[in-house]
Each structure stands twice: as structure tokens, then as C-alpha cells.
Structure 1
């Protein structure tokens, strides 16, 4: 059992593990502590949101619903790997689960019993992270997102001196849930264990240099176009029916126009043709190609 990390300690741990963090207004005092205990804590619980789009997912997890007030987790992990912190303290994410599972987590056992009862308050005992995904088994899990999930879990485990066995899925806590769906918790724990075997290091992401405005008008076929499209999807600016990539198409231009409008551009400044400033803001991962 451990005392929960302070807000400052959590941010420091995440950044030391190479996680990109966004702190949302008021998150450090946003909690449900008035409704029950927060801590001692024993592990990290992973969820999927059953939503799409970063902004709307973050807003939902921060505010909650009429029947379930926020915060609904401590952080939202977007498809681009950014972790949006929305709560610090007790959060409405885990609900009631199996006390036998909790005892296995506390003992850091390699395998968990199947959950068959709901007799223990998980909101007291677990950090919770919602990961943006529809949860239908078809919505993809980008590697940037899976890496961020693993790094987030590893950061908290490292800070508390826990092993990867302290990371569980909501579906492992209660039979009433299926999340996360689309990857196995065993594979996630393997990622976490590999991170914990090394030292926490802050990594600086490398982004694709702007290839120039004229480059896109030639309808290039390139890994850069694919990377661009995936980022546009991740930030909720998709106009794609197929793809994206690798060939630059009108769907890319329409999607990029959505991104420009999201940045506040209007009129001819939001025509869908990339410019240096909007490109830099999008943070397209480096592909090495042209």
C-alpha cells in the first residue's frame, strides 16, 4: 500500500518517463474526495473511453455525466500519446470490483483471479487512465498511444516501487466491464516491465520538418502523407473515408482545413494547404522520408 502521489510528483514522474503531459485547468484540486477515501493506492487501472476525438473525450472525463460526476479518471491518453491530466484524488473510474483481485494486485501476483464479485471500492485503490478508443475491437490503437499508456503506468509503478503486475484493466477488476478492448493486458504489462527494467529517461520527440507548401500540390505519395493523416485523425480533424495515405488526396486537404480552422484560421487561410506554422503545431512524427 502506498500514499497517493501529489500532483507535482505525478507530473514529474510522467515527464521523467518520457510522457507528454497537458495539465487542464483546475485538475490539481478536481476530485471526489468528499464522497470517499483516496488511498492507500495499490495499482493503475486502464480503461477505454468509448468515444472518439481528443477534446470531447477530455471534456467528458473532466466533467463527467449527470449520473456520474467527474473526474472520471486521473488522465486521458489520446491517440497521439499525449496524456491530459483531468483529476487528482478520488475519481469515478473503477467502481466496485473483486476483493480477491485487489489482494492479488497487492501481492503483485503474475496472474489474477477471474473477477466474480463486486465487494471492494476500486476508486479508493487505483489510479485510473481513460484511453481514447471506441472499444469496438476495430478502432486502432496507434503505437504512440500504446507507448504512452505503458510509460504512464511505468511512471506510477516506478514512483511507488511497484512491478508491472500492479497494472490491470477494468475488465480484470469486474466482469461487468470489457475495457480495454483491442490489445491484451499481458502485452501491456510486458511493455511496462521492459520500461521498469531500464532507467527513466526523458525523451525529446522528433518531428517531421515542413516539406514546403509546393510539395503537397504535386500530390506526393509518401510516408509523410500517412503520418500527417494519422495526426489529423488523432486531433479530431478527419475527413477521411479511407486511409489516410500514402497519396495526398482531397481528403487530406479537407482534413487539414479542419485543423487550420481548429487553430483559428478562417477564409483563404484555412484552405487545406499546409503552411509552416500550422504544420509545426500539428507535430507530425518524423518519418525520415520526403
Structure 2
């Protein structure tokens, strides 16, 4: 469960993952927020378009049609493996689905059968439409499958989710068959392998490959142009604490960084604290961090409760100097 990414945060996450992104028209303000809530978000949903051609598929997903107004997703993934962002906020893509499936996504557990349509999925899922006829014969180029993997991993990485937070429309709503042509199990395996490594195109902490400013409700005013506001003279700290190194976490160590870490672990449902968290590194911190490592899918020595660079970066501990 998480607050939706802003437009700039989403754009940065995708580009950090190595995704080629196209910004379509006024996508930053294009949403269905007036028709219902957007968030908290819990996962990513993959669809196929049942269309051919990039331009008309992107236009359809942006505009929608008389019976179903757009945006019909947040992004369209074309055959070349490039992503076209068409919406920021609530989108008409998921419809009503099974609340037991949503619960499993939240818990990152095995998915049950989708045998009910009683929960608003448009509120809880990012949606990506992949250009494919969905007839079982239209091929899925490797470039396109790689982009689906990267897009899903980018959002999971941004929220600290595992591959189990990615589902297909066919796993959410009874009667749906999309995406057809590959298994969601194989896609989740690819996402899991990608999440075990740092993002391939990541920029330095505190930089933003997106342009402009926006808010969580998608009401930003930036037009995507190259005109940027003056850089403030005050030195800017990275938004998240950089990994302080394994030797930092030792018995008796004290720092506000440890307190901030503990609060993030509690927020992620991994807290094992009877009191605190406090500035002092304790066994409760180690147990809490081990729970976080297990949540990310690490095992054995990689889940011993001693922070490592990959798990630390995914935890996104706020910078204590701000």
C-alpha cells in the first residue's frame, strides 16, 4: 500500500530502469480522478490492447471511446519496447475485480482464483497496455517483453514491492484473458531477477530525469519544456539517505539515520519493535531489517538483518539532514 508516484517520480523511475519513454500530450494532468479515488496503490496490472499500430493504439488509450473515456491506462508499451505515457492518476483499465486477489497482492502472497468482481481496481493499480492483438498468434518481440519487465520492475522498485505486486488483467477480473501470449509467472520470474540487481540506468541520488513539478494528484503545471526555474542557492541534499556502509550497523552505534530507518521498516510492515525505534542499533533493528530483506525475496546470508546496499536503496530512508 503506497501513495501514488507523481508524474515526475514515475518518469524518473522508468528512465532509471532503462526504459525509453515518450510523453503524450497533456498526460501529466490526464486522469479520471473526478470519478473516484486514486490510491492507495498496491500493484501493477498488465493488459493487451487488441489493436495494431503504435499511433492509433496510443491515441485510443489516451482518448478512450464513447463507452469508456480515457485514459485507458497509464502507459502504452509498443512493439519496439518503448513506453508512451498517456495518464497520471485514476485510469479506466482494471474495472471491478476480486478483493481476495487484491489482498494477496497487498500481502505479496500466492494469488487465489479471481471469481468475484467486487473491488475497484482502477483505484489500486497502475495499468499498462501492451500493443498486441491478443489472438494467440500475434508475436511478442523480446524488446516488448523486456520493456514490460522493466516498467513493472521500475514501479516495484520505487515502492519497495516485490514481483508479486505485478498481475495480469486475467488474474484480476473474471472472464478476462489479457495478456495472452506469455505467462504471468514467467514475467514475474524476470521481474524478480531484475529487482535483485540495481537499476541499470539509475542517476545519482537527488537528480530527476523528469521535468517540472507536480503533486500526488496529478495537478502539476509543467508543460515538459526545457525551461526550468532557477536553481536555488541553498545546497540540496539527496531525498534519501545514501547507504552508510555495512560497518555502520554495529552494537552500540547511534544515529538519527537508524531512527529514520526504523520508521521506514515499521511503515513497510516489518517492524519488530516493542519500543522505539530509537537512534541506537539494537537486535530489534536487526530483526526488523531481516523481515524487510525477506519481503524483498532475499534468503540465507542475504537476509541476516545486516543492511546491504541494494535493500537499503529500496527502503528509501528519508535524508535526516533535511
- Whether these two folds match at TM > 0.5 is yes
The separation in 1 between residues aligned to 2:104 and 2:196, in whole angstroms, is 22
Q: CA offsets, 1:123-178, max 9 Å, x none?
A: 00000000000000000000000000000000000000000000000000012210
Is 2:36 the counterpart of 1:36?
A: yes
Where in structure 2 are the equivalents of 1:1-290 lying within 5 Å?
A: 1-109=1-109, 111-202=110-201
Question: Can you list the C-alpha shifts for 1:189-240, whole angstroms capped at 9, x where unaligned?
Answer: 011001100000129xxxxxxxxxxxxxxxxxxxxxxxxxxxxxxxxxxxxx
Q: Distance in 2 between matches of 1:56 and 1:84?
A: 12
Distance 2:4 2:201 in 1: 23
What is the rounded CA distance, in whole Å, between the counterparts of 2:173 and 2:28 in structure 1?
28
Residue 4 of structure 1 and its aligned partner are, at CA, apart by 0.2
Give the Cα separation in 2 of the matches to 1:74 and 1:176: 22
Q: What is the DSSP-based 3-state SS (H/G/I as helix, E as strand, rest coil) of the residue aligned with 1:147?
A: helix
Structure 1 stretches of at least 4 aligned residues deviating more than 3 Å after TM superposition: none
In 1, distance between residues paired with 2:190 and 2:83?
A: 17
Give me the whole-angstrom Cα distance separating, in 1, the residues matched to 2:105 and 2:20: 27
CA distance in 1, matches of 2:179, 2:39: 23
Q: Distance in 2 between matches of 1:154 and 1:36?
A: 27
| Structure (1/2) with the larger helix percentage | 1
SS at match of 1:150: helix
**TM-score when normalising by structure 1:** 0.69
Unaligned runs of 5+ in 2: 203-322
Query: RMSD in angstroms over aligned alpha carbons?
Result: 0.7
Report the equivalent of 2:262.
none
The whole-number CA distance in structure 1 between the counterparts of 2:179 and 2:139 is 12
Q: Distance in 1 between matches of 2:45 and 2:87?
A: 14
- Larger mean CA deviation between 172-181 and 88-97 belongs to 172-181
Q: Distance in 2 between matches of 1:74 and 1:149?
A: 13
Q: Distance in 2 between matches of 1:151 and 1:164?
A: 11
**Structure 1 unmatched runs, 5+:** 204-290
Instruction: Give the Cα separation in 2 of the matches to 1:201 and 1:7.
Output: 21
Find the aligned partners of 1:65 and 1:49 in 2 and give their Cα distance.
13
TM-score (norm 2): 0.62
- Secondary structure at the residue paired with 1:10? helix
Matched positions, count: 202
